[in-house]
Every structure is written in C-alpha cells, then in structure tokens.
A and B are shown apart, each in its own frame.
Chain A
Amino acid sequence: MLSYAIRRILLTIPTLIAVAVLVFFVLRVVPGDIVEIKLTAEGGMVSEEEIMSEKERLGLNDPIMVQFYKYMIGLPQGDLGISLWTENNVSSEIAARIGLSFELAVLSTVLAVLIAFPLGTLSALFRGSILDYVIRLLTIGGIAVPSFWLGMLIIMMLLATVGKLPPLGTVGLLEDPLTNLYQLIWPALSVGYRYSSVTARMLRSSILEVLSEDYIRTARAKGVFERIVIVKHGMRNALLPTVTVIGLEFAFLLGGLVVTESVFNLNGIGKLFVDSVVRNDLNLLQGLVLTVATGFVLINLIVDLLYAALDPRIRYQK
C-alpha cells in the first residue's frame, strides 16, 4: 500500500510539469499588460518611458523563452517567482490564503457529508414516499441553485434577521474557534448545499443499486437484522461511488470557491484568482493554477487510496 502510494505520487510529477508548461504558454496568449494596469488604469501623468522602465524592471521585456527558462528553473526549488503586482513571492501570497480556502473546503465537505448521508439514505430507504420526493426536490434544488446566489440569499437572510454580518477579517481557527466558525459557516453552507445535494443523490442511487444486489438478498436470507443488512452490507458498497463524488467535488471546490469567496469577502485563493486575473498578474496566476492542479492530483490520490481501503478487490488486485 505504501509503495503504491509512493508510486502514485511520483507519477504526479510529469503531470504537474505538463500543467506547468501548458499554463505558462497559455497565459502568455492572454491579452493585457500588468504595467499598464498598475500605472495607468487609475490615470495620472505617466510617460511611456516610465512604463517601459517598469517593464524592464519586472523582467517583462525578456524574450519569452528566457522567461520560460527562469520559470522552469525556479519550479523544482519551489520558486514560483514573484507576483508582478505586489512583488512578493507567489508562494507566500498563496500560502497566506490557501489555509482559509482549505478550511472552507473542509467545512463544506463536513457539512455536505453530514447533510447528505442521512438525506441520501432516507431517500433510498423510503423510495417513492413523500419523504423521498421532498428530499429529491431539495437536492435537485441544490444542483440547480448556483452557490453564489444562495450565498447572496444567506447574506440577505442574515441582514434581515440578525441585522449584522460576521466581522470582516479572518479570525484564526485556533485563536477564536467560535467567531471563525461563525464567519465560515455561511459560505460553507452556500457551497455545501450543492455539494451535499450531489452527494445525497449519488448516495441514494448507489444505495438503491446496492440494495437490489444479490448479496443483499443473501444477507436477508441469512436472517440478518435489516439495519445490519443496510449498514454493513449496503452502505459500505454504496460508499464507493459516493467517495469518488465527494473527492471530485472537494477538488472542484479548491478551484471553485472563486465566486463564493467574493460574495462573502473571504480572503482565500478563489478571491486571489479573481484579483490576479483582473490585474493580469501572470506569475501569480501560474502559481495558482499549479497549486490547484496539485490539489486536484493529491485529492485524486487520496480518493484512490480510500477506495483501496474500502474495496478489497482493488486492494488485492494482481
């Protein structure tokens, strides 16, 4: 199992290199110029000469292959270059924000799982009942409603009831867990609703599928208690596809918090993504895409390992 994991991790390296190369060149095709934006978007008396010298200083006048060389040389050392906007290390810019996004993603996942598991299971067990229809209605809603819109509804709801929004400025989880939770629970809900809907629906259909399997009939024929049939024989098998969905959704979350973070004014990498696109900060964008890609690859790896833990057929595959 360990060597399998190591091999899988090693295999991600060529993937990430390919992503890095692709990202570099694709981004150079994107129009726009950060120096223009930085110096003249707000106006003022800026001469052409000043713009050129700023470009020179930031290394933007280097031939593209020279820029590429510098970029690729830096990568193995974990050097993602400097942000063209703040001139801080890209890695430090991302590091400052990824924790929040990660926490939000984890919180959303926890919420999603907490909501999805009872809903999906009830819906499957009481298939065709009013309860099932209500749950399916709720979950189809979750898939149909964009999370940012739900986020806006949540904000309006908070304003209408409490009259106040959670304070701005992230409070550390360890520093003040309650405030932290109060700040993050709302965006987590707005993302988690969709997430839980997808998961609940997946769980429902895989439970239904599993419950019609022959081995469930076998278990019943053994005279096993019905709840054991469902929990021990049914759920574990139904979990397999559900874990994939949870993993994929989590991976999407890392890159997909863009809108939610903007709606809730959260300082995560989603917002940084938007900022770097608006400012044309190519170095930062590169770093972000690479980070998200790495996250994707890692989560896929975790899902695969979880799968192996859950399914002996994979564990013992020869």
Chain B
Amino acid sequence: MRLSIRSALITVAAVCAVSTSAFAGSHASCPVQGGTLKYGVKAEPPSYDMHATNSYAVMHFVTQHYSTLLTFDWKNFPKLEGDLAESWSMADDGLSYTFNLHKGVKFHDGTPFTSADVKASYDRMRNPPEGVTSVRKALFASISEIETPDDHTVIFKLSSADAFMMDGFASPFNAIYSAKDLAADPAFPVKNVNGTGPYMLDEHVKGEAYKAVRYDDFHHGDNCLDGTVGYRIKGIVEPMVGGQIMAEWRGVAPPERKSLTEQMGDDITFQEKQLMTAWVVSLNSEFEAFKDKRDRQAMNLCIDRHGGLPKLAKITFVAPRPSGFLLYDTKFALPDEELFDLVGYGPDAEANRAEGMRLLKEAGFEGLEFTYSNRAVSHPYDHIAIWLMSEWKKCGMNPNMITNPTSKFVQIRKEGGFDATIDWAPSFLPDPTLMHFKYLSDDKTGSNYSNYIDRELDELFDAQKGETDFEKRKALVHAFEKKALEDAYVLPVTYTDRVVPMHKSVKGFTIAFSHILNNTYRGVYLEN
C-alpha cells in the first residue's frame, strides 16, 4: 500500500512539473485575437450554480466564467494541468493534498483570489449550508478538513484515501467562488456570476441568448475572443447553415452530420470522439423473470452487439462497437479479449442467441413477455429501442414497448413501473469511481433503477476507491466489471459517439470525452 502511494506521488509530481512549465508557455498565445463566438445550446440552464448541477446546459454557458484548482491537458487527456493551482502534491499516505495557488489572480469584480476562496467553495460543495443545493456531497465525502496556512496555500485532509480525488480536483463542476460573496449569501452563485474565468457574464436574455465578454485580467491569458454568445436553439442544422451559430458542443447525430456536410460543404468541420455516456438497459430486479440470472443473461445474449452496433452508429450517435460499463480503450476498461469472453459479449451472434433461448427454456420463460420503457426522444432512444426490440424478438421473446415523454419516463424509471428500461450513465471522467457508482446496491446510490442489492459489488467498489496503486486498483475494477456484467442486472448497449460541428472559422478547440468537459473556450479563436 505504502509503496503504491509513493509511486502515485511520483507520477503526480511529474505531471505537475510538466504542467507548470506548460502554463507559462504555449497556452498564453492566441493566433488571432478578437471576434465573437456564436454557439448553440439546446437547453436552458436552471441556475448558474455549478455545484448544484450535472446539466450540460449550465456547463456550456457558465464554465467560461470560472476556474478550478486543476484542469486537464485536453490534447493529452487525462493528463492533469494546473488552473488556479500553480503546483500541487499528495502526501505519502494519500490522506493530504497541498496546493500552491497562483498569485495575482483577481475575481471579475476585482476581489483578489486567495486560499480562503478555495476553502469556502469546497466547504460549500461537501457540506452545503441550509438552502444551498450541492450534488457533490457524496463525491467529496472523504474530505475531512481544509486548511489554509496562508493566502496561497491550501491543504485538503482526507479521512480515507480516495483514488478519485486527484481527478476530482480537475472536475469542471468544482468552480471556485469568492469567499466574500458566499459569506454575504451562500446562494449567491445561483443567480449571480463572479469568477476568475476567461469570460465575464454580460447579459443573459432568458431562454434566448447568453452573452459573455472577455476578462482582460484572466490569469492564463488564452481567452482569444472578444466575447461569446450562446443561443437557445431547437435544431442544429438550420441555425448552422443559416449562419446563426458557429458551433454546438453537445454533438450531432449522423443524419444531421450528413445534412450539414451536404449543405455547407467545406465551411463545416467536425471533431469526433467517444462520449463518456453509456447507454444501458436496466432490468427490474423485482420482475419475476428477472429474478432468475438465466433470464437476464438471455436478454444480454440475444443482443447482437457486434453485428448491430456498427449499423446503429450510422443512424444515431452510438459508438460502433460493444463496450463494458467502463469506456472501451481507457486505462481501467476490460481489454477486448476479456470482455468478449463474458456471457453475451462474444462475436458469434447465432451461438449467443441459441444459448439465450436455451437459458430461457431452462428457466421456464420461453417466449418471455415484458415491458420496455422508452423515452420519447428520437436520438438515440428510439433507434436503440427499435434495434433492441427486433433483437429480442429474434429469440422468441415478446417485448412490449411503452414510450413516454421525459417527465413520465423518469417517473416510471424511478418507481419501477417497467420490466426493462433504457437508462444511461453519464460521466465526465473515465474514472471507475464515477463510472461504477451507478451499479452499486440500491441503498448506496440514487441511480440504481434495477433496485438490486449486491454487497460484493459494494465491497469491490469501496476497495478500488481507496486503492491508489494503479495495477491493484485496475484488478479490483476488472473484478467489479466482470461480476456486474455477468450478473446482467444492467445490460450495457454501448457508449456514445460525439461529433461536434463547427464552422471552419472556429479554431483552437479540442474535443474531450464529454460534452461537460472543456467548455471554458480557452484557446478557442476565430480565423477570418
């Protein structure tokens, strides 16, 4: 254990050294300075408070106003980089993190930034005062104390080692608010903006436009635009073609991409990457048939992932290949040969199907009838649903699909009014703590809609969470992954493909694994 922590520390220190040098260098330069970036967002932010949200609507609009302690080097993701922190280190035992903060940083209102602001912000997240919503309480539950020995040093003390913590400091949600503002009103950031980020809020016309202007004193200096305007949009294609917007960050589906290419030709560019949202099917553990593991595995076996996903990816934004719960090709994910060896993930569709039908027969549920709850949104829900229906029918099952608008769908999912439901697991970091959280026992997580209890999974999760040694942690994560996949309460469909459309004049943007990441518009510039 001790050894592993030390090696981790070395890694962190190395990263630190690289990033510090990087800070002074390349980022600060802007090939072109000026112009206003017009982008579209399909949703409206409920508030400006980043601590209280998981919504991309908030992130696309509000992230540009704030800084976090750490951030990522987007070109070498998930390599860490300093933002407000100049350098940082982790104690040998993994129970203490020390950050040396940038000097001379000021909030948009002119207040100097100090360690007190970091403490106040993190306290607000892990222990929100009355009337303040934080959805990061669980994430930062292991922080026991935050110390500020001087204005530019912050020390986080942990009650137990947490392998996720380092990435957590770079989470884009963890905006640093001004301690002065929070002292006056803990709910200040809900309806007001005062950060240290690259752009300042100018005007928000509700439901319509969100205008920001360049913050001249931004400490990285790589805010290349005069300002940004985010518009509330409904569709992407017409506003892009009609020159109303230059980019949309959440991504387009394949048909939209085709349409944009056809209509805009060379004027449009795309960046493409997997998105850390997994599409899964949650099976209701209280449904008689799904109490039997054989039936659940049969459900899994009957989905021909290898044959179907490449085709599905052509019509909607799913990845063209199978995946486990962790995003494929990332450092903790099961290697393909191990994944494809699991029940239901092999490439031989015919054999899988035969096996599935055999299991059903054996369990006495031949021609299984069940309801599948679908969300009334075409991409990717309807497309996935149609595909899954036909796959299950090939095994002689009789699925009955119910489609509902979001609010009703969410209620059915919550109240268990389904036998199987489409479900999704979004993450913003490829970290097992985030990605496996959903699959814990019902009483450990708010998002286990299968309602099963599995203490073995809970234990594996807790163990990996406290394991800072990479290899050991990876072994624990693989064990979790295999157990959960073979138990088949939740059937992963696959991950998402994200295609960001941009007008050719938009440069300097690097797509990340999530539409929640890299929304500060740092380094983004407009070429004439």
Contact = CB atoms under 8 A, between A and B. Distances in A.
B308 interface: no
Interface stretch (A85-93, A194-202, A223-231, A291-299): A85-93
Contacts of B55: 38, 41-42
Interface in A81-132: 85-88, 93, 96-97
A40 interface: yes
Contacts, number: 153
Contact of A262 (B134, B191, B206, B234): B234
Given A42-B54, A46-B135, A46-B446, A32 B406 contact: yes
- Tell me which of B208, B414, B447 has the highest count of chain A C-beta atoms within 10 A of its own C-beta: B208
Nearest to B410: A36
Given A45-B434, A85-B46, A271-B207, A50 B134 contact: yes
B212 interface: no
**Interface size class, chain A:** 35 or more
Nearest to A271: B207
Contacts of B406: 32, 37, 41, 278
Interface stretch (A62-70, A166-174, A236-244): A166-174
Given A32-B408, A43-B427, A275 B206 contact: no
A169 B205 contact: yes
Interface string B28-64: 0000000000100000101100000011100000000
A18 to B, nearest CB: 26
A37 B242 contact: no
A48 interface: yes
A50 B133 CA distance: 8
B105 interface: no
B206 A267 contact: yes
Given A46-B135, A165-B244, A267 B407 contact: no
B206 A96 contact: yes
Contact of B239 (A31, A49, A50, A265): A265
B243 interface: yes
Given A43-B426, A50-B134, A262-B234, A280 B407 contact: yes
A39 B244 contact: no
Given A37-B406, A88-B206, 11 more contacts: A36-B410, A44-B135, A44-B426, A57-B131, A96-B207, A97-B206, A164-B242, A165-B244, A168-B38, A267-B208, A278-B405
29 contacts: A31-B407, A31-B412, A38-B46, A40-B410, A42-B55, A42-B56, A43-B54, A45-B138, A47-B138, A86-B44, A86-B46, A87-B46, A87-B191, A96-B206, A155-B238, A165-B244, A168-B208, A168-B239, A168-B245, A262-B234, A265-B231, A265-B233, A265-B239, A267-B207, A267-B208, A271-B207, A271-B232, A272-B207, A278-B407
